Structure 1
Amino acid sequence: MKINKVSPNLLRFFLGLYVLASVGYWLSTTLDHWTAVFHPERHVQAPFVYDNDTCVIGSLQPEARAAKVPEGAHLDSLNGVPYSARVWDEILNTAHPDDMMDVGFTRKDGSTGTATITFVPQKPLIAGIPYLVLSLQEIILAGVALGCLLMGFWVVIAKPTDGNAWLLLILLNFPTVLFSLHHGFATGLGALFLEFWFQTMQFAASPALLLFGIYFPERSRWNVRFPWAKWVILIPLLLCAVIFGPIIYGSHYGAGNGPMLVRAGHWAEQTTNFLNLVCLVLSLALTLDKLRSASTEDARRRLRVLTTGMSIGLSALLLVFIVLPHFGITPAQKGRLWIGYAGITAFLFAPFSLVYVVLVQRAMDVRILLRMGARYALAKATLWVVQIALLTVVAVELILPIFGKKQPQLADLLGPLIFFALVMILRMGVHKRIQQWLDRRFFREAYDAERVLNELAEEVRRYTETEPLLETVARCVAETLHVDQIAMLLRRGEYFVLQQSIGIAAGRTLTLPLQSSAVRYLTNSNEPARLYREDPDAWYLMAGTAERYALDKMNSELLLPLPGRNRMMGVMALGPKRSEAAYSSADLKLLQALASQTGLALEVSELARSLASEAAQRERINREMEIAREVQERLFPQEMPELPGAKIAGYCRPALGVGGDYYDVIDIGDGRVGLAVGDVSGKGISAALLMASLRASLRGVTLDSPRDFAKLMHKVNRLVYEASASNRYATFFFASYDPATRKLECVNAGHNPPVLLRNGETIRLEADGPVVGLLPFAPYTEQTLTLEPGDLLILYTDGISEAMTKEDEEWGDERMIEAARRSLHKPANDVLDDLFAAADVFTAGAPQHDDMTLLILKLEP
């Protein structure tokens, strides 16, 4: 029953007024009742009782008899003021013991008279009960009434537009009237308000109960067929309330009521009592009828919970305060106060069930609620009490006697040992075993579900493949919780894509964007998200059309994040249970644990897949690098030419398997041999490719037996420039050696100057031209010199001279030359080996940071 047409601000205004009135009534009556119970000496007792309608005096107290007040006389005045109930209340509520009151009356024979009554202190309302016990009783009664009132406020604040919430508020306000029958010592407008509120709540409770039975949780089928029937009850109740208005006013603020109004009051009272009973019976009958005819399983669950809770609560009140007193057993008797406490405690089932069925979005079944109650009440609270009681008894019997002995014996230590052993036994899981026994004994299905999901949460850790993991989790959850629709979405870039599903025919077309409202909520909260479309949360209201379409297509009722260590790996969407029951807190706890383990397993699976892919890629790259190295090695000279009076040796050791260093020995005709060394900028594959281009260019331009080496270098520069990027270049040295004349003709394009060692002399062939491949046109000049027997010509790249230690200290040209001088008398191959060995000794195992290349020309002595 919705009241959406009413303005929310107006509803809040009414609620504010209701809160002020109800809390004010409870506070006033509670404080005054507390004063009346614990401080009766501060107030006076009424000297006699009289009929409010006829004003006839009866039931005289001793102080009235002592003042000669005639029984059966008509009450005329009080302290000289014409009688009214308001005057009577003001006098009694403001009087103190030993104060006096003048009473004017008319006897049965028509004669008038007056009497002066001296007030005596009020008698205790409850006698013979210890103060502490009485205080506890009053606190419990007042606390129960206030608790019901606060629960009613909570429900209306949570669902202000739900008419059932307002009906529930009226019903939960009734205990403040039921448990606070004393209307206090207020006077004037205060007394008028208290009486008005008391009567209003008395009259409103039964119609509210009837309307609640008609409209909750859905409209009764009988009300649909006969919508006018409820007015047959509600209109007479309203007429009775109208009749009671002047009667109550006449009784409390007038001089009584006339005979006709008195007869009307008796009729209205009997009619009201009958109609209240009819409302109670009809509400119960309509609720029982809805148990059979409700349109949804959720409605039936709510009604089962409501029927169970109301039956327990109202039956407890009926038994404790009506049935047992009929047999002479009352909570007021000494030693039987616990009966009243038990009845009031059991009564709380009624308001709690009312609040639960109205407030929750999807009710749980009675059996689940009983299980939760049994687990928390029996397996936790009760067991703690039993443990404490047992430990207390053992401590009193076995430990305290030891302190009374002057010389404890060794055998006395047995008691403390038994005590501590008992503590350890109780703390080592006894209460947990009893919990499990309760579940196995009374809630077998729920216990099995918990056991299966717990085992699954442990099992998923061992999965390293995604598909079997998702399939196992989805199937197990579906079978255990009886869920027909489950979707598992995994993160793929900027989307969560459907990877595994049960009962969903959309294939892998359903996605949730990374920035969708649902994903943001799950990421920020890292908690399950319920989805009730009848009363959606804010995150669903902010969802876009495509997102809602995906959620509706999956029929999602519960979304679970699958978290990894640093990011959310996926989302598990669960549809409704086959029974349409809500997911309980135990279900959510188990599912959340399972989702956490699944998310970590997914992350492990993704990591394993990534490592496998990376290993395969690394293996492929290594194989390709090995092939490239083999190809590059084939580009270097495979054997050196035999020269009369001279030997040539060369070697390149790349830093990364392949590199940009280049050396070559070329037959350029007429018995001459070309010697080339180059160093391409950079390292690795890109440098190797440019090196291959440089070699091809050089080989191409030397086919015509060139004589002009400056022109040759110009052609090489042009070819490399056109074949390379603008930021790529190479240093290059080329020389032609004629063994017949020992003439060396060379050109240097920005390369490290080759070193010629001749006895004690060191000659450097300095660069006389720019690097190749950087500029389209570059001038180069040629050098010519004649070698002598015993000369050693060293062509090298900077990877040799700049070889570094771990402390970044360079070997340098001078150390290289010094090492070469020590091997000056050796053949070319030995000089080559000695120089590499000397460089390695200097670097002492430091990683090679650049390609190292040497080309040696050694003339015989």
Structure 2
Amino acid sequence: MVAIPMKKKRRDSPNLLRALLGLYVLVSLSFWVSSFVTAWELNFHADRHVQEPFRIDARTNLTKEVNPMALAAGIPAGAKVIGINGADYSGREQWQSLMATARPGDGIDVDLILPTGNRKTVSLTLKTLPFENPHTSRAILFMRESLISGLLPLVCLLIGYWVVLAKPTMGNAWLLLVLLTFPSVIFQPDGLFSGATLLLHLTWFQLQLLLSAPALLLFGIYFPERSRIDVKLPWLKWLILGAQGIGLLIILPYEYQVYVGGGPGPLLGELGARAGQVFNYLDLVCVLLYLVLTLDKLRSASTPDARRRLRVLNTGMGIGIGSLLIVFILLPSLGVPIESSKYYWLSYTSAVLFMVAPLTLSYVVLVQRALDVRVLLQMGARYMLAKWTLYVLERVVLIVAAFKLVGPIFGKKQPHFSDFIGLLIFLGLIFSLRLGVRKRLQSWLDRRFFRESYNAERVLQELSYEVRRFTETEPLLETVARCVSETLHVDQIAMLLRRGEFFQMQQSIGIDASGVLTLPAQSSAVRYMTNSNEPALLYRDDPDAWYLMAGNAERQTLERVNAELLLPLPGRNRMMGLMALGPKRSQAAYSRADLNLLQALASQTGLALEVSELAHSLAAEAAQRERANREMEIAREVQERLFPQEMPTIPGATIAGHCRPAQGVGGDYYDVFHLGEGRVGLAVGDVSGKGISAALLMASLRASLRGITLDNPRDYATLMHKVNRLVFEASASNRYATFFFAVYDPATRRLDCVNAGHNPPLLVRGDAVMRLQADGPVVGLLPFAPYTEQTMQLAAGDLLVCYTDGISEAMTHEEEEWGEERMIGAALCMQQGSAQAVLDCILAEADRFTAGAPQHDDMTLLVLKLDA
């Protein structure tokens, strides 16, 4: 709806406008109250007031409409009034104040200049105000006057206040308020005021008379959209309004002289009379232009909604204004005495029909989307007929029950106690009708005459509970879109779900699905719904602020889905999606009941989407975890194949090794393999880190060692240097490994070894324990590193224990370390056993100490035991 724009200079301008409305309410209601009190006084207490003996022409101060009492006293028509009660005549305010305060029997002296030019003073005794309708009861007359000059203007004022209060920044609402104030001044009776009160009363009266026609013209130009005639001829309205402004500058001093200045004088009187005639013609031009503009808009309206508003407006105004014109103008001109009590029903009927006009005005201004006239009449007529039928049936039941159940009590002089049972039954019947039966009948009425709304409410409520059972997104969206479309008769629906930083269309009805349709998460509509947690209504003729701030791409998306309502689909912490609904087939706006139902459905749908997303996420995570576990199992199997599958046989010695990864795979490494000439290579390593990355570096370390030892080298320091270079080139800068390598010759019991930063292996000989300290840095950290070879002569019964720090640093639940001392103690206990026995004992003691506490590092042992 296009309205006359009101620029908001300050953020609190609606509050300022509401304050202005409060002042307007105070003045207009005061005028209405004073007019109503005047009507009451003149109809019920006419004997307190006097009859005006003559009227005084405002322009010339000449007497006119002289009644027989004044004629008999010697006051002719056309005599100039120059004084009243010894005071010079100062204007109409003086005369009307006198008439308002005088009482029957009071005398007044009037100084006149007769038409012959002679001066004359006439004394009059004022008589009681006659009752205008002697054949009509005062009560009936008062009811008629109260309805026409009291109730109808009040209802019009209240409707006008309501419209402006609802939309204070809309110019059309203020124009409507001015138009609805007009009945309160046009129907007002002659006042009983004096002094300043009279001046204020007359000022408001004149102001409303002057503003009503321009307000009607502007309303016709701007409602519901600007007229194309005004677009082509914008100067026309300014010409009319300018002429009225000039006339106002003449009317104001003219009226002042008339009321308090003793008369306007010849020049001002002539100008005032001419200005009054011009105003009448301009008012007629405003009315005619309003009709022309409105009829033209019926053909040129840019939207169906604007055309429906105009049809409703014209129909309502035709009924309301037409009823008054027929009853109060046409019928009297045809000789029908509507002032007779016999025809008062015509006045009541026209008054009721007149209310269609203000109600229509408020309807077309306030509603977001107007219904067609035919739909309004059909719904209203059917509903009112049903309501009145129920009302009459209820009253008939109560009357019959009263005669049957309560009547016997009053028909007996001394009622029996049992007679009061009927009274109790009657009271129970009233109670049941009021609270039980009426509610059920009202529900039946809604189902029967508003079946569509009733069914929509029931279906959407049921659907809001059903959607929680969906775990799949696609059937959920399809079900929700289809049910909303069928119950609310919406032909275009789009369901958009969050995909990262965009909302992408996943389901649609009646919308071209070709191409990708997205709405950014930072779009104006999404931000509005996120911040307000409310639906976003899109009425393009009167858009909200969020739509005005939307970019072109966002507007194109909303146009493509023909969105009229955007519903957020909220999850617990974020918006899961949104539902865009197009217009209803009936072109009716979405009601508050529709929005409440749709919001409940959207909330449940959003939670269902979140549950579905969570279920899919859990399923994907479970599948990924399963794949990872399977891959880890494969990696573990591959790594186990890298460890020695069978220990070589060593004359005069036994050897055993074991690696227990903290995870599926680890970075610890041990190896035992034959070299040339009966010698055996022993290797233990600990790669930094854990998991797959450490296992890969361990595999690289093994491959490097195995490759280098193929040539049966003798220089083990150089061997370690080559291993370091290969591992350095094959690993990241933050990856390295501690490494111990030894070669045992069974023939000579000689042990040659190189230690690259690894835990010192233990050599147990009797009760003595020696450590083979590191003599070089870790491998893989530096491109060049010096290593030194060590040689040791072993003896019968010697025990060599190589280990990683996962053994010595095994921890309990309280994070207490096992330590090397306990490990050495376990080794000494089984010193006389085989290498496997020693290994099993050390692992068993470590497990017993940790008591099942989870370990965070790989545990690796390699044991060489020489026979005694």
User: Which bracket does the TM-score occupy, shorter chain normalised?
Assistant: 0.7 to 0.9
State the partner residue of 1:684: 691
Shift in Å, 1:487:
2.2
Amino acid at match of 1:440: R
Closer, same or farther in 2 for the Cα pair 1:33/1:159, shift >3 Å?
closer
Give, in whole Å, the separation in 2 of the partners of 1:421 and 1:651.
Answer: 94
Residue in structure 1 matched with residue 512 of structure 2 by the alignment: 505
Aligned-pair CA distance for 1:699: 1.1
Q: Does 1:150 align with 2:152?
A: no
For residue 417 of structure 2, what is the aligned residue in structure 1? none
Q: Is the 8 A contact 1:171 1:209 kept in 2?
A: yes
Q: How far 1:248 sits from its partner (Å)?
A: 8.2
In structure 1, distance between residues paired with 2:848 and 2:376: 80
Alignment pair present for 1:492 and 2:499: yes
Q: Could you tell me how far apart the structure 2 residues matched to 1:664 and 1:462 are? A: 58
Shift of 1:636: 0.3
Task: Quote the residue 1:853 is aligned against.
Answer: 860
Asked if residue 662 in structure 1 is aligned to residue 669 in structure 2, the reply is yes
Question: In the aligned structure 2, how far is the partner of 1:798 from the partner of 1:243?
Answer: 110
Is the contact between residue 801 and residue 861 of structure 2 (CA under 8 Å) also seen in structure 1?
A: yes
Match of 2:562 in 1: 555
Structure 1 98/854 Cα, relative in aligned 2: closer, same or farther at 3 Å?
farther
Deviates more, 1:592-601 or 1:51-60: 51-60
CA RMSD of aligned residues (A): 5.9
Alignment of 1:303-318 (within 5 A): 303=310, 305-306=312-313
Structure 2: distance between partners of 1:510 and 1:94: 78
Q: Between 136-145 and 847-856, report the one with greater CA deviation.
A: 136-145
Q: Deviations over 1:599-642 (max 9, x none)?
A: 22222222222222222211111111111100100000001112
Q: Quick one: distance in 2 between partners of 1:631 and 1:536? A: 68
Aligned to 1:409: none
> Bigger CA drift: 478-487 or 833-842?
478-487
Q: 1:742 aligns with which of 744, 749, 752?
A: 749
* 1:29 maps to which of 17, 28, 31: 31
Partner Cα separation in structure 1 for residue 434 and residue 818 of structure 2 = 76
Q: Tell me which moved more, 449-458 or 136-145.
A: 136-145
How far apart are 1:853 and its partner, in Å?
0.6
Separation of aligned partners in 2, 1:369 and 1:850: 84
Q: What is the alpha-carbon distance in structure 1 between the residues aligned to residue 490 and residue 359 of structure 2?
A: 29
Tell me the equivalent position of 1:172. 180
Cα offset for 1:58?
6.0
1:603 to 604, 610, 615: 610
- Within the candidate set 648, 652, 665, 1:645 is matched to 652
Partner of 1:49: 53
CA contact (8 A) 1:498 1:507 kept: no
Q: Which residue of 1 aligns with 2:579?
A: 572
CA 1:819–1:97 in structure 2 vs 1: closer, same or farther (change >3 Å)? farther
SS at match of 1:521: helix
Cα drift, residue 211 of structure 1 = 8.3
Q: How many residues align?
A: 805
The answer as to 2:484 corresponding to 1:468 is no
The alpha carbon displacement at 1:113 in A equals 4.7
* SS of the residue 1:702 aligns to: helix
| Cα shift at 1:185 | 2.6
Shift of 1:720: 1.4
For 1:634, what is the secondary structure of its paired residue?
helix
CA-CA distance at 1:57 after TM superposition? 7.9
SS at match of 1:49: coil
> In the TM superposition, what whole-angstrom CA distance separates every residue of 1:360-379 from its partner, at most 9, and x where no partner exists?
44224565799799999x99
> How big is the shift at 1:28?
5.1
Deviation at 1:761, TM superposition (A): 1.8
**Normalised by the size of structure 1, how large is the TM-score?**
0.75
Are the aligned partners of 1:527 and 1:561 in contact in 2 as well (CA < 8 Å)? yes
1:394 is aligned to: none
Q: Residue 187 of structure 1 corresponds to which residue in structure 2? A: 195
The 8 Å contact of residues 25 and 194 in structure 1, kept in 2 or not, is answered as no
Q: 1:657 and 1:216, CA in 2 relative to 1: closer, same or farther beyond 3 A?
A: closer
Retained in 1: the 8 A contact 2:4–2:222?
no
> 1:165, 1:358 within 8 Å by CA — same for their partners in 2?
yes
User: 1:676 Cα deviation (Å)?
Assistant: 1.0
Cα deviation per residue 1:51-109 (whole Å; 9 max; x = unaligned)?
Answer: 33462686699xx99xx967878666311235553321244567799997434469999
| Whole-angstrom distance in 1 between the partners of 2:599 and 2:5 | 40
The 3 A distance-change label for structure 1 pair 761 and 184 is: farther
1:78–1:797: structure 2 CA closer, same or farther, 3 Å change rule?
same
Counterparts of 2:744 and 2:381, CA distance in 1: 103
Structure 1 position 771, deviation (Å): 1.1
Aligned partners of 1:809, 1:369: CA distance in 2, in Å? 89
In the alignment, is residue 85 of structure 1 matched against residue 92 of structure 2?
yes
Cα 1:97/1:793, change in 2 over 3 Å:
farther
Aligned pairs (5 A) from 1:515-554: 515-554=522-561
Q: CA deviation at 1:780?
A: 1.9
Shift of residue 748, structure 1, vs aligned partner:
1.3
AA at the equivalent of 1:492: R
Q: Which segments of 5 or more consecutive residues in structure 1 lack a partner in the other structure? A: 332-338, 391-396, 398-414
Offset at residue 44 of structure 1 (A): 7.7
Contact 1:490/1:571, CA 8 A, preserved across alignment: yes
Residue 624 of structure 1 is aligned with which of 624, 631, 634? Answer: 631
What does residue 406 of structure 1 align with? none
- Are the structure 2 counterparts of residues 16 and 497 from structure 1 closer, same or farther at C-alpha, using a change threshold of 3 Å? closer
| SS of aligned partner of 1:452 | helix
**What whole-Å deviation, never above 9, does each CA across 1:789-824 have from its counterpart, x for those lacking one?**
333221111111111112211111111112222222
Structure 2 vs 1, CA of residues 668 and 361 (structure 1 numbering), >3 Å: closer, same or farther? same
The alpha carbon displacement at 1:516 in A equals 2.0
Which residue does 2:489 correspond to in 1? 482
Aligned equivalents of 1:667, 1:46: Cα separation in 2: 142
Shift in Å at residue 683 of structure 1? 0.3
After the TM superposition, which of the residue ranges 681-690 and 832-841 deviates more from structure 2? Answer: 832-841
For the 8 Å contact 2:108–2:124, the answer to whether it is kept is yes
Which amino acid is 2:161 matched to? L
Asked if residue 769 in structure 1 is aligned to residue 780 in structure 2, the reply is no
Contact persistence 1:247–1:257 (CA under 8 A): no
Kept in 1: contact 2:18–2:168 (CA 8 A): no
Hey, what does 1:831 align to over in structure 2?
838
Paired residue for 2:825, among 802, 810, 818?
818
CA 1:440–1:39: 2 relative to 1, 3 Å: closer
Offset, 1:194:
4.0
Q: Which blocks of at least 5 consecutive residues in structure 2 are unaligned?
A: 132-136, 332-336, 399-404, 406-422
Residue identity over aligned pairs, in percent, reads 59
Corresponding letter in the other structure for 1:78: I
Change (3 A) 1:182 1:464: farther
Judging changes above 3 Å, is the alpha-carbon distance between structure 1 residues 52 and 719 closer, same or farther for their aligned structure 2 residues? Answer: same
SS at match of 2:711: coil
SS of alignment partner, residue 710 of structure 2:
coil
Please say if 1:353 is aligned against 2:360. yes
Quick one: which of 844, 847, 850 aligns to 1:840? 847
Shift of 1:140: 6.9
Q: How many angstroms apart in 1 are the aligned matches of 2:778 and 2:466?
A: 66
Q: CA deviation at 1:691?
A: 0.5
What SS does structure 2 have at the residue aligned with 1:670? helix
Structure 1 residues 205 and 747, CA gap change in structure 2 (3 angstroms): closer
Q: Distance in 1 between matches of 2:378 and 2:735?
A: 80
Cα separation, 1, equivalents of 2:637 and 2:149: 98
Question: How far did residue 540 of structure 1 move?
Answer: 2.2
Distance 1:155 1:202, change over 3 A: farther
CA drift at 1:530: 2.3
SS in 2 for 1:785: strand
Could you say which residue in structure 2 is the equivalent of 1:443? 450
